[in-house]
Amino acid sequence: MIEYHPLKPFLPANTKVLFLGSFPPPKKRWCMDFFYPNFINDHWRIEGAIWFDDKNHFVDLECKCFKMNEIIAFLNEKGIALYDTASAVNRLKDNASDAFLEIVERTDINALLKQIPQCRAIATTGEKATIEVCNYFNISEIPSPNDQILLRENLKLYRLPSSSRAYPLSFDKKVEAYRKMFEEIF
C-alpha cells in the first residue's frame, strides 16, 4: 500500500540549511504533527543541546511530547528547513526503519531549493536519505558519516548521523557532529 507524505515541506524564506530525512514513522508513533515526531527520536534534543545548552529545551517532559510551536518559531528564526527524500513509500514492515522503506516517489529536491534560494547546505539524517540525495544529484561518491561533499556550486551535502536512538552512536557524539555542521553554515 502506497503511503504519501503526511506533511508539507517546511521552508522558511531565510533558509540556510535543508534537513532531509527519509520518511516519517507511522502516525501511531507521533507525539506532534511535525517533523521528527517520535518522542524517542533525539533530533529536537540535539537541537536543544546545541542552540540552548539544554537537551530538553524543546521537550515537554510532563506530556511526553515536543514543543511544536517553539520548534517552528526557532526554525523560522534560524532559517532551518525540513522535509524528506521520499514523497511516497511502501512501508514493508510496520515500523520506522529505513531498511523497510521502498521509495515509490522521490522528492523533487530542486523544486524545494528553488523556494529557498539562500540555502547553501543539505543535511541528511541517515544513510538512506544520503544515498537518495546523491542519486538525485548524480553523485557516485557517498560521503562517510560526519563528512561533506559539494553537490554543486554553493550547495554542500552534510551527512549527519541519524538522530534515531537505534543508530549506534552516543548522544554527545551526535551533538558534536550536528554542531560542527551548524558552525560551518551559520
Structure confidence by residue, pLDDT tens digits, 24-80: 999 999 999 999 999 999 999 999 999 999 999 999 999 999 999 999 999 999 999
pLDDT > 90? residue 12: yes
Instruction: Work out the pLDDT band at 99, boundaries 50, 70, 90.
Output: confident
Residue-level length of the chain: 186
- Report how far residue 141's alpha carbon sits from residue 91's, in angstroms, rounded to the nearest whole number: 27
- Which of residues 1 and 52 earns the better pLDDT score? 52
pLDDT of residue 100: 87
Side-chain half-sphere exposure of 148, counting CA atoms within 13 A: 18
Tell me the per-residue pLDDT of 111-158, one tens digit each, with 9 for 90 and over: 999 999 999 999 999 899 999 999 999 999 899 888 999 999 999 999
d(CA 127, CA 28) in angstroms, rounded, equals 24
Q: Dihedral sign, CA of 25, 29, 31, 33?
A: positive
The domains of the chain, with CATH numbers, are 2-185 (3.40.470.10)
Share of the chain above pLDDT 70, in %: 99
Cell numbers 510551536: residue: 69
pLDDT at 45: 98
Q: What is the pLDDT of residue 85?
A: 97
Whole-number pLDDT of residue 98: 81
Instruction: Please say if the pLDDT value at position 95 is more than 80.
Output: no
* Contact assessment for residue 4 and residue 88, using Cβ atoms and an 8 Å cutoff: yes
